[in-house]
Amino acid sequence: MRIQDDIKLDFDDVLIKPKRSTLVSRKKANLERTFKFKHSHHRWTGIPIIASNMDHTGTIAMAHVLMEFPMLTALCKFVESTEWGWNNNIIRTIGLDQNLDELTDDSMWICLDVANGYTERFNDYVALMRRHAATKDRIIIAGNVCTPEATEQILLAGADIVKIGIGPGSVCTTRKMTGVGYPQLSATMECGDAAHGLGGHIITDGGCTVVGDIAKSFGGGADFVMLGGMLAGHKECEGEIEDDKMIFYGMSSTEAQIKHHGGKKSHRASEGKAVMIDYRGNVADTVQEILGGLRSSCTYAGAKSIKDLPKCTTFVKVNRQLNTVFN
């Protein structure tokens, strides 16, 4: 047993310090980025925000809206194959039980998504994906982990992008059920630094509850930000509406295990919860608010583009107790 004494930070622990800006208007802030990836050598240009591969946000309807911005959607792995209409903005999600020989679609992106990316089986599977004929030329996303050592290992195994976050999601209870996790802003900064040193990229997955958290993620070195709760509750989530509310649940919750696996297995605990959230209408309206807030963030920080935000960001640590009182 050992204790790390240095304090790790979450989004609520900091604010971005404002700086002189040469931008004459918020609308001049460029939110698009062009990426070239480490192993696949593909290029992609767009706004680096991804709808999470959950039941409610990783839907075909969500993908059709977000591609107009252009943003990405990681489709839930339980979406029926007959519904796929792949283009450069739909990401396919798979698990460790996927037969790679069956991946005959034209998706440029593929996401290996597991709750615990620290197992040898997971790392070996990433390496297999990079060698396999069906996946070797695709942009491979793999996760989740939350430490720089694991980030480096997954990139060296063959991933282009590593998904970062253990337990920060709004409907995830991993930290409560297991005591395992890592504050998400520090995870972003440390894993981003490790990935960029190897020519790789990261996605911050979970923990963003307001637009300012997305800005802090990008300022902390995230290349992409994945959103679940912030995009939940919309028409495009395709859930039932009761009393102007929709159900939203984690993919390790009892509800998800019953829906997709016929019940919770005796050796597993539920590491997610279900909540009722207000119905929020069209997701396009929410996305416009998110993008408007990010343009303001860039302007306040003196960044001409989302790519410049890490170079321009100075974080100021805040007293969380006082922050709670005044908000």
User: What is the per-residue pLDDT for 26?
Assistant: 87
d(CA 67, CA 90): 8
* Cβ count near 119 (within 10 Å): 11
Q: What is the pLDDT of residues 26-63, one digit of tens each?
A: 889 999 999 999 999 899 999 999 999 998 999 999 99
Q: Which helix (H) or strand (E) element contains residue 290?
A: helix 283-301
Name 63's Cβ contacts closer than 8 Å, sequence gap at least 6. Answer: 51, 73, 75, 89, 90
Q: Which residue has the tokens 């859930």?
A: 239
| Residue 89 scores a pLDDT above 80 | yes
User: What is the per-residue pLDDT for 239?
Assistant: 86
Residue 170 corresponds to which tokens in the numbers above?
């709004």
Please state, rounded to an integer, the average pLDDT across all residues of the chain: 90
d(CA 219, CA 198): 19
Q: What are phi and psi of 195, to 5 degrees?
A: -65, -45
Predicted TM-score of the model (pTM): 0.92
Q: What is the pLDDT of residues 212-265, one digit of tens each?
A: 999 999 999 999 999 999 999 999 998 889 899 998 876 766 675 666 666 556
- For the annotated catalytic residues, the residue numbers are 172
CATH class of the domain whose range is 24-326: alpha beta
